[in-house]
Amino acid sequence: MKIYCCGCKNDIEARLTDGKEIYPHRADLYQKPFWKCDRCGNYVGCHWKTGNPTRPLGNIPTKEIRNARQHIHKILDPLWKSKRFKRGHIYGKLSNALGYQYHTGEIKSVEDARCVYKIVQQIAAGE
């Protein structure tokens, strides 16, 4: 499958693998699907709980971008999980501010992540 790889900065032919290869120390992930870039070794998980369980969660991030995405979710998710905001409202505000349909899995750079982080902070502050 062709997927954009943030490490290679290009669409690449990713290889479908499993959690046993990606996380050999996590038996609970052994059966989960992942797409891997064999050129740089980066990978992305899949929407395994859906009707299309091998659909990638987004592009293939570097470790730094994956960490940035996780950091964004740590501040973004509590906003809607607490019912302070509706999830669609937050994602709509992000999409409007960014000028495109937002999805965390599509963040391609640390700079993109910083921009999203600032917007999420403004939403959380009620701005």
CA distance 15 to 90: 33
What does the pLDDT read at residue 126?
81
- 7-38 pLDDT tens trace: 999 999 999 999 999 999 999 999 999 999 99
Residue whose pair of structure tokens reads 């369980």 in the numeric block: 53
DSSP the chain: -EEEETTTTEEEE-EEEEHHHH-TT-GGGTTSEEEE-TTT--EEEB-TTSSSTTSBSSSB--HHHHHHHHHHHHHHHHHHHTTSS-HHHHHHHHHHHHTS---GGG--SHHHHHHHHHHHHHHHTT-
Domain extents for the chain? 2-45, 63-124
Taking residues 71-77, report their average pLDDT: 94
pLDDT of residue 127: 60
CA distance 73 to 77: 5
pLDDT band at 92 (very low <50, low <70, confident <90, very high): very high
What b-and-e string marks burial along 6-41, b requiring 16 or more CB atoms within 10 Å of the CB?
A: bbeeeebebeeeebeebeeeeeeeeebbbbbbeeee
How confident is the model at residue 27, as a pLDDT?
98
**At residue 2, does pLDDT exceed 90?**
yes
Average pLDDT, the chain: 95
Percentage of the chain lying above the pLDDT 90 cut: 95
State residue 76's pLDDT score: 93
Residue range 46-59: average pLDDT?
A: 95
